[in-house]
Amino acid sequence: MHRRRSGCPINLTLETFGDRWSLIILRDLMFGHNRTFRGLLGENIEGIASNILADRLKRLTANGLLSRSADPGHKQKFHHTLTEKAIELVPMMAVMGGWGLRHTSASEELSVRARILEDGGPQLWDEFMQELRHLHLGAPAPKRSVSAALQSAYEAAMARRRPSAHGPVHR
Amino acid sequence: MHRRRSGCPINLTLETFGDRWSLIILRDLMFGHNRTFRGLLGENIEGIASNILADRLKRLTANGLLSRSADPGHKQKFHHTLTEKAIELVPMMAVMGGWGLRHTSASEELSVRARILEDGGPQLWDEFMQELRHLHLGAPAPKRSVSAALQSAYEAAMARRRPSAHGPVHR
DNA sequence: CCGGACCGGTTGCAAAATCGAAGTGGTTTC
DNA sequence: GAAACCACTTCGATTTTGCAACCGGTCCGG
């Protein structure tokens, strides 16, 4: 596959998902609700190409970050779910999002989730990880849903920005 | 330079240093003691090529992560120092190292520093950041040196592994 | 039972990034 | 004065990425 540059943990972490797309895909699986190829392709706001997505899904699965399973109700669909190894990247996602929040010109709507995760700290991260274990590994459901809180905060931010586009419509 | 894929903070963070070498260079500047081109080139255990190093130093400087200054005592030498923006990546380095520790086959000697940083938690990270501000930005020196502790732990691990190679020599 | 939307990709090609090795012009050290 | 050191640059080969079109199969509404 490829040769190992060094035994440094930071380097090896980088070699596992240190390209321009792997972490984006993991982010979509963590914070979004699509697990199929088409779903991930369509949902992705950065516009990943289908050949790259196919390749990365293979690589992430080979590296033990994703698990692929058939959809019982649809012969063509496959679900890509996070493994424990990937779920343990939640703190890294939170810390990365926090840094991006402070040092890049991130858009307000997309920053809402990062801000909640950062403010929540390790305790919230653990809750979120528990929920991901429920959603992706079949573990028992936690009491309250972090993912729902993140989602509704995001939708509220979208509604603030463009009231007619994505928010709840009253007519 | 390049177009921005999206306003997501995680994506923007990735766009800032999400290639195979930028973070490695930042790691070397954080944990090593070389700041010149030759120094970084020679010290780097992954064997970065000189053209790539030159390009990345330019890019990191353009992105505000590094600052370049002339060496007063040597007309050809230039020092590359971390900016505050880069120093605030310490938590991310610590978290990444921690993940690599648990989920990759990192070598024992190179894992020692990552383990100390992870065990130390946010409090130690802050101390380390204070020290980096001293070393790279001219801030006042902190009481105790985290960097020295990391370094001596690393040397002790090296000595344990190959007593004759890098450890203190008594003759 | 048929047409169109949907499924997970693959293919072909161009552009960009990376790599490894060698070289450059100048400086400092011995 | 020579050798080592300095920060790069240049070159050509290889690899990776990006883009758009295409593919055969499946599902769903009428």
Amino acid, res. B92: M
Q: What is the dihedral of CA B101, B102, B108, B114, to 10 degrees?
A: 30
**Cα–Cα distance, B144 to B147 (Å, whole number):** 9
**Same domain (yes/no): B115, B79:** no
Residue A46 lies in a domain: yes
Segment A15-44 mean pLDDT: 97
Amino acid, res. A66: L
Residue A142 lies in a domain: yes
Domain stop point among A85, A120, A138: A85
CA within 13 Å, CB half, B154: 15
State residue B148's pLDDT score.
Answer: 96
CATH code of the domain covering residue B61: 1.10.10.10
List pLDDT tens digits, range A100-154: 999 999 999 999 999 999 999 999 999 999 999 999 999 999 999 999 999 999 9
Domain stop point among A85, A117, A149: A85
**Same domain (yes/no): B118, B104:** yes
Helix (H, G, I), strand (E, B) or coil at A49: coil
**Same domain (yes/no): B75, B136:** no
State residue A168's pLDDT score.
Answer: 42
Contact A40, A56 (CB under 8 A): no
**Same domain (yes/no): B112, B81:** no
**Same domain (yes/no): B128, B70:** no
State residue A124's pLDDT score.
Answer: 98
State residue A2's pLDDT score.
Answer: 72
Residues 59-118 of B with CB under 8 A from A: 85, 88-89, 91-93, 95-107, 109-111, 114
DSSP A104: S
Q: Do A45 and B101 touch (CB under 8 A)?
A: no
State residue A1's pLDDT score.
Answer: 53
**Same domain (yes/no): A52, A73:** yes
Helix or strand (DSSP H, E) at A78: strand A74-82
Query: A36 — contact with chain B (CB < 8 Å)?
Result: no
Residue B1 lies in a domain: no
**Same domain (yes/no): A150, A106:** yes
DSSP A82: E
Number of H helices, E strands in chain A: 8, 2
Domain stop point among A85, A116, A151: A85
**Same domain (yes/no): A74, A108:** no
Supply the mean pLDDT for chain A: 94
Residue A47 lies in a domain: yes
**Same domain (yes/no): B81, B45:** yes
> What are the average pLDDT values for consecutive 10-residue runs of chain B, which has 171 residues?
87 97 98 97 98 98 98 96 98 98 97 98 98 98 96 92 53 30
State residue A166's pLDDT score.
Answer: 44
Contact A13, B48 (CB under 8 A): no
State the total domains in chain B.
Answer: 2
pTM over 0.75: yes
**Same domain (yes/no): B72, B37:** yes
Chain B closest-CA separation from residue A52 CA (Å):
15
**Same domain (yes/no): B17, B76:** yes
DSSP A35: -
Q: Which domain holds residue A74?
A: 9-85
**What residues of A are in contact with residue B103 (Cβ under 8 Å)?**
13, 16, 85, 88
**Same domain (yes/no): A15, A80:** yes
Residue A37 lies in a domain: yes
